[in-house]
Amino acid sequence: MSSLPPDTPEQALITQYKGSKLVVVAYAGTGKTTTLIKYARANPTKRMLYLAYNRAIRDEAAEKFPANVECKTSHQLAYASIGKRYAHKLVPGLSLPTIKAAISCSMKLAREISDTLNAFTADAIDRFMPHHVNGFGTKAELTPEWREFAGEVMLNLPHQSGRQEAIL
Ligand SMILES: Nc1ncnc2c1ncn2[C@@H]1O[C@H](COP(=O)(O)OP(=O)(O)OP(=O)(O)O)[C@@H](O)[C@H]1O
Ligand SMILES: [Mg+2]
75 and 142 co-located in one domain: no
Q: Which atom, in ligand 1's list, is nearest to the CA of 6?
A: 1
Domain coverage including residue 60: 9-81
23 and 77 co-located in one domain: yes
Q: Which atom, in ligand 1's list, is nearest to the CA of 4?
A: 31
Residue 76 CB–ligand 1 contact under 6 Å: no
Q: How far apart are CA 161 and CA 166, in angstroms?
A: 9
Q: For 82-109, how does the pLDDT look when each residue is reduced to its tens digit (9 = 90+)?
A: 888 888 877 677 889 999 999 899 998 8
Give me the number of domains the chain comprises: 2
Return the C-alpha torsion angle 65, 70, 71, 73, nearest 10: -170
Return the C-alpha torsion angle 11, 12, 14, 16, nearest 10: 160
163 and 105 co-located in one domain: yes
Q: How far apart are CA 49 and CA 61, in angstroms?
A: 11
Which pLDDT band holds residue 56 (cuts at 50, 70, 90)?
very high
109 and 162 co-located in one domain: yes
Q: Given this model, what pLDDT does residue 160 score?
A: 52
Residue 25 CB–ligand 1 contact under 6 Å: no
Q: For 103-155, how does the pLDDT look when each residue is reduced to its tens digit (9 = 90+)?
A: 899 998 899 889 888 888 888 888 888 888 888 888 777 788 888 888 887 77
